[in-house]
Structure 1
Amino acid sequence: MTTRRNFIGAAGTAAAATLLTGTASQAAHATAAEAATPAGNGTAAADTTTARNNILQVDTDMRTNYDKLRANVLQQLGPVIVVENGMQGGKYTLVHQGQQFIEEPISPIFQLAKSIAHVSLGIFSVIAPSLDPKVPAGQTDMDARDLQLVAYAGPSNTEWITPLQAFATDLDAARRTLEDAGLPVDLKTSCAHILDAGLTYINEITRRRTFDMPGFQKFTGKIADDIKTNMYWAAKVQIEAVKDLFGRWKDKVGADAWHELYVVVLSMWTTSELNQNSIIIKHLMDNGMVDSHLIDLVCEAPSLPNAVHVALDNLARIVMDNIAAEMVFSKDQQLADALKGKPDLLSQEILTLLGDTNATANAAALNACPFHTKTKAKQALINA
């Protein structure tokens, strides 16, 4: 969509932190006198440097003023819900009328179910460096170079045995105490199957001191349905908890304010597409508000120490750019949509100059967007 949601895209925590500081600290060192330094007082090279510095000062001034505006807009935001994805299913913060309300509402069943579902991934993490770096015949979906990077030690290495035996000790402890965990019957059964299969596989390969990819895949195939059962329970308790939380918070802020609710979901790149929290939340927001008010913000770290501020700082930029776009590019709706959305402002120019065959496809994608289609009529009026 062409609202300025997801604008941070694949940027990481470092980029998010830069947004907090902006360029205000740099601009603080520039004085009005420096900004107005006249040219023509020295050599041609010096005059060029002075002229260019004067030009660059314009952008420095813009960024300083932009940062001040963003800091002030941030103080006006609300209601906003910030979601931090985490092992417990999510930490939710409601920002409303100058207050923050924080909850981690997901049942422990969520994390317990996922923990046992990760048994096969845990085994893989230990043995992967000692895989055969050659892709097995028939394994068409595996990149050969990726496998080489992961299997860096090679099959002659046996350093995996000791850490895998340590992992088996933890699996055994979990299996012996499983009855006392208070799990639903079918979840307890699937967890037992996964743990038993994991222990059996570990015992087999440590006894032989060797393993191969087909053998590992045979092991994981046996527990595929059990992993799905665990996934079902994790999803079930998460949906129930988020629905209950949003219902209570909707009553707190009131229906009118809720209609304007922004939700910012922070997640890692690997879980940002069809993020579990975003999928649930989109069903709990008012109709017509998801495309513009549900924002997925990608960060390198799963949890930031200042996550709420990072989310609000980025949201302030999004809100500002939604308005700036229509004022700065009042006669060019495509550029306005770019400022509000994910495309870089120079993207179409670069695609055109490079003769990129995808330029047409990108334009078609914009036209397919409901928001952009809606604005085509407006553009026609502008051009009239």
Structure 2
Amino acid sequence: MTKRAGIFGIVSILGLFALLHIGFANDEISPRALGATLVGGIAFLLMATSIFLATRPSVLEDAFGGLDRMYQVHKTCGVIATILVLVHFFASPKEIPEGIVATADVTFPSSPLGMAGMILLVVLVIVTLNRKIAYHRWRMPHKLMGVVFVLIVAHFMTAPEFFFDRFGPSGLLLILAGIVGILSYGYSMFGMNRASAKTYVIDAVNKMERATEVVLSPIGDALQFKPGQFAFVEVKGDGFSEPHPFTISSAPDEDKLRFTIKVLGDWTRKVREELTPGLEVDVRGPYGRFDTSHADNKQVWIAGGIGVTPFLSTIRGLKDGDDREIYLVYAVREGAEALFFDELREKLTMMPNMKLILLESNNGEFCKVEKIKEKLGTSMTSFDYFLCGPRVMTSSIIKDLKSEGVAANKIHTEAFEFR
């Protein structure tokens, strides 16, 4: 669940801009121009926010509920900014105010810069929202969002004074946002990977049913993480140039770092078929706040397919004396797809308060709340629920849990999508 603190922070900045923009408006600026620049300024601030969040600032994860939620906000800010940019364009006065000399260059270069930025922004957002475009083809054009932002900064800085007072209180706030956005873009492009990466070498590539386990050994300092967290993995080899996020499936105290990767597309298929021991890997993280240790003692963990990985890390890290009452509901199509099932069963057998429930859809056992309720045999409102799996499954379960009276703050999910 996205936490409100981060959203409140963004809204507060937008509200401050609106107050400064309206409260210190120049009397010579027309109401239409004032409204248009208000909308444009809010769009500008949302773009700067989106670019800043793309740097993955770990200090803000708690405010948003994890990096996965932060990326959701990053995407939402970009989409809203695009809509507001279009509103700004159509609302902006097209006539030059009386008393201004109507020379040919009175709005040059601001107008063409703004037009170029708007067109490129709309095109890139359409590309971003098209889920049919493969990740490796989407990633490079998405980097052009920084170029769009630079064009918008130039548009703003060259805007005619009769249209907007860039050195007024609200203008200075936008200048500050522009500086933050440009620095964030530069850091994302040229500094972030080197600053936060830890280097590993591949020990083993284990092919499993519809998944691949990659086992890594550290070169130098190892990554420190908590169960349920994830990291970005970038293989230093031909054809593996792009980083991908994966949940860590090893326990925090293991010498090795493990990722269990489902075969979904070209990159994950290449991992399975071409990755070999000895290659170096950059790992950046950890990220995420999918932490079962902060919930009440009665918990239900619901895993759909590869969604078992954060729970796998947690179970591998369980210590004697853990007195939580935990039900792990593991939903798969058939038993052969239940990754590490024997290991999970053996580990949970040693923990008297923990139970493993396997649901096989091919046998008619679908992961539904009514089925979970039947397995629990008690009131559902007394448990905390942790869900990780396909969105269609988790969305349906969340809806039904709320219908059963389970409070929203007792339902925890991981929004493992980054575009």
Please report the TM-score for the alignment, with normalisation by the length of structure 2. 0.21
More helix by share: 1
Higher relative contact order (CA 8 A, sep 6+): 1
Mark the structure with the bigger radius of gyration.
1
Please report the TM-score for the alignment, with normalisation by the length of structure 1. 0.22
